[in-house]
Amino acid sequence: MSRDSAPEPVRDDALGRRLFPDGEEPDARFTLANERTFLAWIRTALAFVAAGVAIEAFTLGSLPPGVRKGFAVAVIAVGVLIAVGAGFRWWRVETAMRRKRPLPVPGIVPLLGVVAAAGAVVAAVLVVSA
Amino acid sequence: MSLGGGAGARGVPLPGPSDPGLQPERTALAWTRTACSLAVVGLLGLRWSGPFGSAFLLVAGFACLAVLLVLARGRRRFARLGHALHDGAGSRPGALSPGAVAGSPGAGGERGGNGGGGGERGGNSPARPASRSVLAMVSAVALLGATAAVVVAAV
């Protein structure tokens, strides 16, 4: 079963070889599922970035400017952290699948839970005190 | 896994355990969704950015460029992948396009025989991980976030 029916122009994937030097490629469906998970995390990260921008843009006057800016920057920073963490996790999961090792424990999940809960508390405090 | 095997000699073709042709499409859609979200956030920052408009213009432009690169690469990759997954799962010499799986009666008999063995693995259809696209996406979001944070702090 090693014939190609559709022509496959295989480009030189130098970055791929550097990131995944060993192991054998897993079933394509697992690679794709890993990608979809990564993309879902990215969309979450983008939501955080947009929320940080919205905090700065839409809560003018109800907070001292230092607190507001600090909060907005913190939320944006969480978004960036999620994005970077998601890319790192994508790499770790793909590597684990290639070496047929167990998948790594997701570290972003508890962090995200804590941050989202804290954000909700702060938002409630803002609503009540405005 | 015995869905195909039960078809017997006449064989109305039944799809395999997870219709392989749809995975590339789902992933392509996920990339498109994410690229659109990225573009929206980039343009949102542009709309709001105030005196630092030029900085955001640059970043939004970069984000859109990353989006276009990802989409252009994705189209070719997923077309190839759709063909490859069908070849691996169906053990058929002719590549079935992802949309034509259910409606090809000629494939029934052979798929019935091979479905149990080859259908589950789909393993001779490697999907090289999209390293460059992943890197582009992470970089775009990080850049967007960093620029937004700087603008928020400085204005």
Residue-wise pLDDT tens digits, B113-135: 333 333 333 334 456 778 888 88
pLDDT classification of A37: cutoffs 50, 70, 90: very high
Contact A82/A47 with Cβ under 8 angstroms? no
Given an 8 Å threshold on Cβ–Cβ distance, is A46 in contact with B37?
Answer: yes
Average pLDDT of chain A is 81
Q: How far apart are CA B7 and CA B11, in angstroms?
A: 4
| Domain assignment of residue A57, yes or no | yes
Q: What is the number of domains present in chain A?
A: 1
Domain span including residue A99: 26-129
More confident residue, A6 or A66: A66
Question: In Å, what is the CA distance from A130 to each residue of A63, A124, B151?
Answer: 9, 10, 25
Which residues numbered 86-145 in B keep a CB inside 8 Å of some CB on A? Answer: 87-88, 91, 93-95, 118, 121-132, 134-135, 137-138, 141-142, 144-145
Residue with tokens 């259908």: B119
Handedness of CA B117, B28, B136, A80 (dihedral sign): negative
Site from B97, B133, B134 to mutate, A interface, most A CB atoms within 10 angstroms: B134
Closest alpha carbon within chain B to A67: B153
A125 within domain boundaries:
yes
pLDDT (0 to 100) of residue B11: 56
Cross-chain Cβ contact B95/A19 below 8 Å: no
More confident residue, A3 or B140: B140
Write the CA distances from B53 to A33, A60, B62, B139, integer angstroms: 38, 19, 14, 20
Contacts of A1 in chain B (CB under 8 A): 87-88, 91, 118, 124
- pLDDT, residue A111, reads 78
Which tokens belong to B75? 């189209």
Q: Helical H runs in B4-155?
A: 22-48, 53-90, 108-121, 131-154
How high is the pLDDT of residue B101?
A: 32
Task: For residue A73, list chain B residues with Cβ-Cβ distance below 8 A.
Answer: 149, 152-153
Is pLDDT at A116 greater than 60 in this prediction?
Answer: yes
Mean pLDDT, residues A104-128 taken together: 81
- Using a CB-CB cut-off of 8 Å, the residues of chain A touching B23 are 28-29, 32-33
Mean pLDDT by runs of 10 across the 155 residues of chain B is 45 50 79 85 73 64 71 69 59 33 34 33 56 85 85 76
